[in-house]
Amino acid sequence: MVWPPWTTGIWGEAMKRILLIGTGGTIASEMTEGGLAPELTTDQLLSRIPAISRICSVDCVQLLNLDSTNINPGHWQMMARCIRDRYDEYDGFVITHGTDTMAYTAAALSYLVQGSPKPIVLTGAQKPIGFDSTDSKINLMDAFRCASEDLPGVSIVFNSRVILGTRAKKTRSKSFQAFSSINYPDLGVLRDGVLLRYIRQDCGRAPVFYDRLNTRVALLKLVPGVGRELADFLLERNDALIIESFGVGGLPETSGLYDCVRDGMAQGKTIVLTTQVENEGSDLGVYHVGHALKNNLGVLEAYDMTTEAVVAKLMWILGQTGRQREVAHFFYTPVAQDILWPAE
């Protein structure tokens, strides 16, 4: 469906052509006997917000209709292919998505579609569009405004904030201010329907698309008293293990985890140390419990990256290569400002 049927703005200028890609989420949900579930199509969403017709011309694709809890890496690849196959036809892209895994999807698309000069905007809502009190309409309006601007790359537009795709994290489960930008400023804000941009992402003349992901990436969150058994179990079944440690990073010295990491790396596994603390990142060299990991074993360190970005980046890297030196090189090479700290 093309919406609206006219293609010029109120001053006669050509309207931007935007592709709306629906994947489900709360924004498209209605109440069912079993609770909220995605029911509405992209066409139905647009029909609730006729004012979008004054912003841009919209085509719709209903790619999925899922609660975002059910989103997996195969769906990320579907979204990237949908954008790739239609990239030359449109000026920008809006993806409606559930909030629970939106940050993972935004990070993944940042690696699967690199250097896009055209906007790729994800948005959603904390309350369905049919509710009296909803953030759906303003978020969707703002997303189309941003997709019609010079806003390169992947971003999340939510609660009038524009957040870089590799830096977003859902930090509130119910409030309209659901997302935060971690260790990086917002790209901009929207005020009275106007985008005030603080930062413009770098981009190429054309995007670079990737299709391969290696999903054999596991995440272990440390708790006091944890031993190596869980890590051994995960390493047996995966090619990479991300360990969310405490504070600036390290491993409990009596847990056996140091030996587990050493053995895993000797088998060619990729191991990344990050922190459970949202802000300011890791720094393994500060304390004795982390110093040997960095200087003796040479584990990868996430520094200021979000866990969502680490997961998606490893899947992308391991989809291209399994050689440890190449993995380390790609991991520490910034993509869409995902890592700012130096590798040394």
Domain CATH code at residue 13: 3.40.50.1170
What gap in Å lies between CA 235 and CA 269, rounded to an integer?
A: 7
Q: SS3 for 107?
A: helix
Backbone angles phi, psi at 114, to 5 degrees: -100, 140
Query: 164, 190, 209 — which closes off a domain?
Result: 209
The total domain count for the chain is 2
pLDDT above 90 (res 243): yes
pLDDT tens digits for 43-94?
999 999 999 999 999 999 999 999 999 999 999 999 999 999 999 999 999 9
pLDDT at 2 over 60: no
8 in active site: no
With beta carbons less than 8 A apart as the criterion, state whether 189 and 161 touch. yes
Mean pLDDT of 187-214: 95
pLDDT at residue 34 tops 80: yes
Q: What is the pLDDT of residue 341?
A: 80
Give residue 6's pLDDT band: very low, low, confident or very high (50, 70, 90).
very low
Query: Which residues does 343 contact at the CB level (< 8 Å), separation at least 6?
Result: 332
Task: Give the per-residue pLDDT at 204.
Answer: 87
| Shared domain check, 246 and 286 | yes
Taking the C-alpha atoms of residue 227 and residue 250, their distance in angstroms, rounded to an integer, is 14
CATH number at residue 228: 3.40.50.40
Q: Which of 23, 26, 101, 105 is catalytic?
A: 26
pLDDT tens for residues 300-344? 999 999 999 999 999 999 999 999 999 999 999 999 999 998 644
For residue 306, how far is the Cα from the chain centroid? Answer: 10
CB 252 within 8 A of CB 112: no
Cis peptide before 334 (omega within 30 of 0): no
Share of the chain above pLDDT 90, in %: 93
Q: Examine the domain organization and report whether 160 and 281 are in the same domain.
A: no
Question: Element (H or E) spanning 321, and its range?
Answer: none
Give the global pTM. 0.95
Q: Could you tell me which of 129, 148, 174, 126 has the C-alpha nearest to residue 56?
A: 148
Q: Average pLDDT of 199-211?
A: 94
- In this structure, the number of other CB atoms found within 10 A of the CB of residue 71 comes to 24
CA-wise closest residue to 24 among 39, 2, 10, 36: 39
CB-based contacts of 53, cutoff 8 Å, min separation 6:
3, 4
Same domain (yes/no): 155, 285: no
| Nearest residue to 79 (alpha-carbon basis) of 101, 41, 118, 108 | 108
- Residue 30 in domain: yes
Segment 243-262 shows an average pLDDT of 96
Structural domain of residue 222, as residue ranges?
217-332
Q: Round the average pLDDT of the chain to a whole number and report it.
A: 95
Gap between the Cα atoms of 99 and 83, Å rounded: 20
Q: Give, in order, the Cα–Cα distances in Å from 281 to each of 160, 290, 296, 325.
A: 26, 14, 21, 23
The answer on 142 and 263 residing in a single domain is: no
- Are the beta carbons of 22 and 60 closer than 8 angstroms? yes
Looking at the structure, do residues 327 and 251 belong to the same domain, yes or no? Answer: yes
Q: What distance, in Å, lies between the first and last C-alpha atoms of the chain?
A: 52
